Every structure is written in structure tokens, then in C-alpha cells.
Structure 1
């Protein structure tokens, strides 16, 4: 059991106890190296307690699952310390309170605020569902959503999340919170999938806007305006569709639900009646004569022409805009007009690369449009190329997590993996980017998983293919016409890899001559890069500072071999 002032793993100093459950405690700790606060979940092992074994196994599984994820609305796990008698899980310390606490203290919440929370949650669930394989959260409820002081939310507690498996007909274990869980979570009605999370989110929204807990009497989800007639009819329609007993009657994915949430006012009865009147009027007009039909066709052609003109005008205005935000706004309007045209998305990518920084706000602006239209875009020729460019944007420019560590390269890699995997999955081996997308994806997967593989003593054989990918990446980037930031990031990764894994590369059959050759290539290429900004000059210096350490690591790795010869 941890005590105040104890230092765990030589760097995490326990500051205070901030929570406890049946078999675990949560402490606030200070990372002495990074001067950053973390939350540490402590689970004491008890070999004689079968329930404890289940809790320990579940905690490790949860931690390993979350370690693969990187999204601003999902709690991050940065370290797992598995000692003989206790497990420590190091994760984000989140200031704020759960939405359940907000409900207990203040009752039902204003629908405009609830919709803002719903959009953030839905974007996070969409991120989970588009992983490979998809991750189904399965326990959405107010108690598992933290509200931060600035108003943003964080999803916590992935204890019963699972990876979706195509071959499964049902869940192995029936888990979920009564009142919030979808019918299929209790067995016999199919495997839980993305629609399961949509059901749970719908019930959560019901609780937030009505203040009535679905786990308490009357145990029935009445239309929300039964409790409060002032609530939006459109929001009522959305929640009712989310919470249909048959998954086929719900929104089929989070992209559909996101669109509905952004347009909830259009889903009311008045809007539907207005649309019905339009449809009846249109039917009457069409029935009058063939001339009216031709007029209608002409109108459609004109509408298409107008839309094309509006699209082109927004693209042109985006290109002329003087600020990144201005460019993003115009490109977003263009994407609304033609959701499956690629120019607007490429324009967004180019706009945020201008200052060599891809901020969290810029990410939300781009992914909000991409996620909304992702299913349709994946059916279009050219999507794989767009996915490749998105992967590179995350890999080289993503800022999220940069303030927490000296280098957020692992965060950038993990965020890029899914896009590179899409580039490979939806692309063809004849595509120019296909080989590079495969290399990037596999390098990202290696760096994402290697720590866990080392802990499980399962890393043997991982290093030779990683070496080949690093070597190919350097061969394709070195002395090329790629931007200086891309070249330097590749050289930094290569230097870091040789410095960190020289002995592992040797054990997997990489010769000293081969490693020395790559080392010299990286040194020469780095020295020849001409920097044009403070950021790239600093990056070049970081690479240069690794020369000695990487060189010594190579020499040390092969020293015994040289002595024997």
C-alpha cells in the first residue's frame, strides 16, 4: 500500500489519496522528472482471492487497451508498473467532476450544454469504433464522463470495453450498467457493436436533460418532453432513435448520430410536417404535366451548378484567407456543400501545416468534417491517398501531448496508425504511397506495442522487421525533396532507434557494418539539412546531440563480438 511521500519506480511521488473502491485506491502523484501530476491507481494483489485475480486481470487488460488510444476526450495511460504484490497504473490526472455528480448537485442540465457534451462524447466513440479492430466502450453513463473546469469532457473507466470480433455472434461476458446497457449486452441478442454504445449514449442524454435516472423507478424511457415540454422535439426524436430495442432501428454509426446532433432542431415535428407539405406539393406539381418535370430537372441542374459555384467560391476564398482559422472555416463550408470532394480536405491539411504545428483545435476542425463523411469518403477513389496525407499530418505535426513530455513522437505515431492502415486497406500496391504507408504503419505499431512486449518477454523477433522499416524510411527520405521537418523527424527517429535498440538489433541479426552504414547516412544527411525556422533548427540540434550516444550504443553492442574476433 502506497503512503504519502513514497516514490514509486524512482519518479512518481505520492501526494495524497483522491479516491478508493473495493479493491483499488487512486492517488495524486507528482512525476519528479517531468514536474507533472498524474493519477496512480493502486491494486493490491491477493493470490488467495479469486475476485481479486479477476480485478487484477481486468485492470491490466483495461490499461493495455487504453495505452493504444490517443484522443483528447479519452483518459491516457502512460505507464503500468507490475510489482510482485501490487500493480500501479499511471494515467492522466483529470481535474473536475463526473456528470453524475453534476446531476446530483444541480439536476437536469440545459439541453444546449448537453448537446455540446454529446458531440464531444460521440466524436470520442467514433474514434474508438474506427480503430482496427473497433473498440466498443459498453459502459457509457454520467458516472464515467468527467467534466473538466473549462467545459470539455473526458471518458474514463474502460473496465468492460472490448474489441469487436467479426467472427463472434455474441459477447463472451454479459456486462453493463442496468438502466443504461443495451438489450444485446445481456445475451441472446447478438454481439455488442457501435450501435450498443449509441444506445448507452442515448440513455445518458436522457438522464442529463430530464434528470431522471433510468436505473430508478419508473424504469422506463418516456419521451423527454413528457418530463419537460420545453425540451426540443428534435432532441426527443434523436434520443428515441438512439434507444430503440432493435439495433437496426438505431443510428448505425456515430457519424450519423453526429450529423443529427449538429442539426437537432431540424428533427422536430414542425420540421417533418414542413417537409411533408413540400413533398405533397412537389408530387402535385410533378403530376400536372411533363413540362413541370422538365422544369424540375432543369432546376436540379441549376442547383448543381449553383452548388458547384458555391463550392468553388469557398475554395477560392480559403486560398485567399490570411489566417489558418479563416482557411479552415471556408474549407469546412466547401466540405458541407460537396462532402465527398477531396479538395476541401487537402486544403485543410495544407493550411494547418503552414506553421509546422497541428493543434488540438485544428484537429477537431478537420476530423469533425472527416468523421461526419468518413463512410462515404471510403467508397470514393482517392480516399486512400487522403488517408495517407492525414497519417503524415499526425506523424510529423500533431501537437497533442507535446507539453506533457519532452517529445510527443509516440503520441503522433499512435494517432497516425489508423490513417496509414486505411491508406493500406483502401489503397492498392500500385499506388505511389502504398509502400510508405505500410512502413509508417508498421513503425507506429512497433513503437506502440514494444513496451508491452518487453514487459511480457515477447519482443524477440520484433526488431529485425523494425530495422528494415527504419532503413527503408531513411533511404526514401534522405537527401530527398521532402520538407526539412520531415527529413529531420525521420533522422531523429533513426538515431533514437539505434541508440535505444542497438543490442536488440544485433540479437535479431543486424550486422555492425549495416548499422554503422545507416548511422553515417543519417549523420551526413542531417548535417546537410538547411533549416529555415527556429523549430527546425532546434530539431536539427536535437538530432546532432544524439550522434555520440547512438555511436557509443552501436560500439557497445558489438564490443564483445569484436573481442572474440
Structure 2
């Protein structure tokens, strides 16, 4: 036994065995001199390379590895004891949407550093993530982590937690950082599950329905998180995000949604085609609905044009202004009321606790707009 081993085994007393599996034994220990609480992990010697690399990391979202060494042909790692709840326990209650985004950001921050060391965690799941009372995330349990080998076609062992492990962890291919991205996608899905469910429409599109207690901003955030989760969990690794950095860029768009930052693949929403798909009658890919909507819109337009052009006592120069205002009198309130092009959210940042108050506010503002334009139109026609 060398000096390092002698120091740890003499200075630390065992308090409890936290876990004892075929792969790893986890022991809670205390320094008899300083009363510092640490965790000893005893595992196969092949884990030494992983823990040597983790020891060099300085990332607040990754468990701090204080030391690691070989003892009796076993790898012994000494880690900080992270005080807090496991994410699986935190998920027993609904997590606020903004906190979910922050959790994902922190997990990405940790995984990015791990992947930069060429380490694949392979067991990213709620049980292996600790959340402290300040909502700080720490990723733990690198027991089955491995160093990616470029020359390997598949992993030598099939390891991972069913439900969170990627398909390639069961022998389809070698695991890499995209395997952890798959697990991250499942995690995101778990966190937003209380707020969202997807329904596949006849047109083939998937629409995300969220809880009634969400604001418009939160609805959009959940919608984007669902899309992110879906892309992370593609069966084929090449269809997933290529790296954690790519996910972090997406998170920037999600987190700053209220600053009108749009994802590149969402720019279509601002195109003519994208806006048309938000108009009542065109939201679902139903031909009958479209025909009825077109007939209705044309007839309403024609009616208002007739009203505008037949206004009496209007000076010739004001006639077209009257036509425009008479159209605006119903078009603008209608756009706001039905939220065409997501205009409501883009011009209003106020949050509402309940959808009912949000709809009341929308109706009220639409009426105010209608009255304001009507008053302007009346003033012009009476001149």
C-alpha cells in the first residue's frame, strides 16, 4: 500500500454504503481530522482513465473528483459529497418552465466539458443528477462512463438504464456524445411532460398542447423544448444534434424568446406561408375549412369596401382613406383577437396566471382598437 492509499484508508472512516452494485461500490466516508464528508467509489480498474480526466475538470455542474488511484486491482475514486435531492425526486412535483430551461442549461454546461475530455457518461438519468436548494445541478455517477475510441465499432459491454440509454448502447454502434444527447432528450421530455402532450394531426404535423395555466411565453418555451427533446431522441444518431454546443445555441433562442430572437428553422413562421398557417381556417390542412374561410373573408372584404366607397359627405381625397380605415376597423382587432402570426405575444410582454384573464385582456384590447379606428373614421366622414 503506497502513501496515497495509506492516507485515504487511515484518515477516512466509513459511515455508510450508499450503493453496492456489480459495477461499483459507493461508500460515504468522513475525514477523522477535518470532519469533511466525501464519497469513495470502488470499481473496475478500467474506470481509472475516466476518473483521471474528470479529476482535471473544473466545472460546477460536474461532481468534483478529488483523487483516484488503483488499489488491489480496483479503481478507487474520491469525490465530493453533493448534498441535495436527486432530480427524480424533484420531478415528483411540476417544475416551473423557466427552471426547466435553467436545468437543461446547467446539464449542457456539464456535459460539454465532459465531452471535451472525450468522455461519454452513458448513464445520464434523473437518479444521477443532484439538485441543491438553490436549484444548482450536479451530474454524478460516472461508474459506467467510457473514453470514446475512434477505432471501435461498438461498445464491449451493453450498459445503461432502459428508457434513458440510447439504442447504440445495446450493441447497434459505438457510443459517443450523441448517446448522452439522446439521454438528455429523454430528460427534457420528463421535465416538460406535465405541461405538454403532442397530438399527430391528419396532415402529419404534431401540435403541442400545453396546460391552461401557462402564459403565451411559457407555451412557446414548452413547445420548443418538446421539439428539442424529439430531435435529441432520434433513433439514428446522425439525425440528432451533433454536439452539446448546438443544443446550447437552441437554448439561447428558447431562453430569450421574449426578446424576439427566432431560431433559424423558425424563420418560416414570419414568411407569408408561415403567417397564413396561423389564420383561422388555414391552421389545419383541411381543404373544406380553407374553402369556407376564403368565401367568408372575400365576402367580408367586399362588404366593407362597399361601405367605404359609398360613404356620403366625404371629400374625394378622403374616400380611399375611409376605405382603408373601414377595413382596418375589423382587420386589426380580428388579427389581435385570433392571434394571427403570434402578434399578441410579439407586442405584449405581460404574463397572466390564468388563460381566462389572458383572453379577457385580448378581447378588451381588440374592442379598444376597434373603437379607436371607428372614432377616427367617424371624424373623417363628418368633416
Q: Counterparts in 2 of 1:28-177, with a 5 A limit? A: 28-30=29-31, 32=33, 36-41=36-41, 43=42, 55-57=43-45, 60=48, 63-80=51-68, 83=71, 89-103=77-91, 105-106=92-93, 108-131=94-117, 134-177=118-161
Q: Counterparts in 2 of 1:254-269, with a 5 A limit? A: 254-264=244-254, 265=257
Q: For structure 1, which runs of at least 5 residues remain unmatched after alignment?
A: 1-6, 44-54, 213-222, 282-565
Kept in 1: contact 2:192–2:225 (CA 8 A): no
Q: Give the TM-score of the pair, scaled to structure 2.
A: 0.56
Q: Which whole-Å deviations, capped at 9, do the CAs of 1:396-432 have from their partners, x for residues lacking one?
A: xxxxxxxxxxxxxxxxxxxxxxxxxxxxxxxxxxxxx
Distance in structure 1 (CA, Å) of the matches to 2:136 and 2:242 = 26
CA 1:256/1:203 → structure 2, altered by over 3 Å: closer, same or farther?
same
Distance in structure 2 (CA, Å) of the matches to 1:25 and 1:125 = 22
Q: Secondary structure at the match of 1:166?
A: coil
Q: Secondary structure at the match of 1:263?
A: helix
Distance in structure 1 (CA, Å) of the matches to 2:35 and 2:244 = 38
Kept in 1: contact 2:45–2:73 (CA 8 A): no
1:194 matched to 2:194? The reply is: no
Q: Which whole-Å deviations, capped at 9, do the CAs of 1:63-97 have from their partners, x for residues lacking one?
A: 44533433211112223465559875321011101
Q: Which whole-Å deviations, capped at 9, do the CAs of 1:287-311 have from their partners, x for residues lacking one?
A: xxxxxxxxxxxxxxxxxxxxxxxxx
Aligned residue in 1 for 2:19: 20
Cα distance, 1:17 vs structure 2: 2.1
Q: Which whole-Å deviations, capped at 9, do the CAs of 1:502-548 have from their partners, x for residues lacking one?
A: xxxxxxxxxxxxxxxxxxxxxxxxxxxxxxxxxxxxxxxxxxxxxxx
Kept in 2: contact 1:98–1:145 (CA 8 A): yes
Cα distance, 1:180 vs structure 2: 0.9
Distance in structure 2 (CA, Å) of the matches to 1:100 and 1:79 = 28
Q: Choose between structure 1 and 2 for higher RCO, CA contacts under 8 A separated by at least 6 residues.
A: 2
Q: Secondary structure at the match of 2:79?
A: strand
Q: Which whole-Å deviations, capped at 9, do the CAs of 1:105-140 have from their partners, x for residues lacking one?
A: 42x422211110111111111112222xx1111211
Q: Counterparts in 2 of 1:401-440, with a 5 A limit? A: none
Cα distance, 1:183 vs structure 2: 1.5
Distance in structure 2 (CA, Å) of the matches to 1:79 and 1:269 = 44
Cα distance, 1:269 vs structure 2: 12
CA 1:59/1:97 → structure 2, altered by over 3 Å: closer, same or farther?
farther
Distance in structure 1 (CA, Å) of the matches to 2:265 and 2:119 = 37
Cα distance, 1:270 vs structure 2: 12
Aligned residue in 1 for 2:11: 11
Q: Counterparts in 2 of 1:503-514, with a 5 A limit? A: none
- Paired residue total: 247
Aligned residue in 2 for 1:442: none
Distance in structure 2 (CA, Å) of the matches to 1:129 and 1:186 = 20
1:207 matched to 2:207? The reply is: no
Q: Give the TM-score of the pair, scaled to structure 1.
A: 0.39
Aligned residue in 1 for 2:329: none
Aligned residue in 1 for 2:378: none
Kept in 1: contact 2:28–2:40 (CA 8 A): yes
Which segment drifts farther, 150-159 or 81-90? 81-90
Q: Secondary structure at the match of 2:271?
A: helix
Kept in 1: contact 2:269–2:275 (CA 8 A): no
Specify which structure has the higher proportion of strand: 2
Q: Secondary structure at the match of 2:39?
A: strand
Distance in structure 1 (CA, Å) of the matches to 2:150 and 2:265 = 41
Match among 194, 219, 227 for residue 237 of structure 1: 227
Specify which structure has the higher proportion of helix: 1
Q: For structure 2, which runs of at least 5 residues remain unmatched after alignment?
A: 1-6, 196-205, 277-383
CA 1:211/1:100 → structure 2, altered by over 3 Å: closer, same or farther?
farther
Aligned residue in 2 for 1:488: none
Distance in structure 2 (CA, Å) of the matches to 1:8 and 1:149 = 30
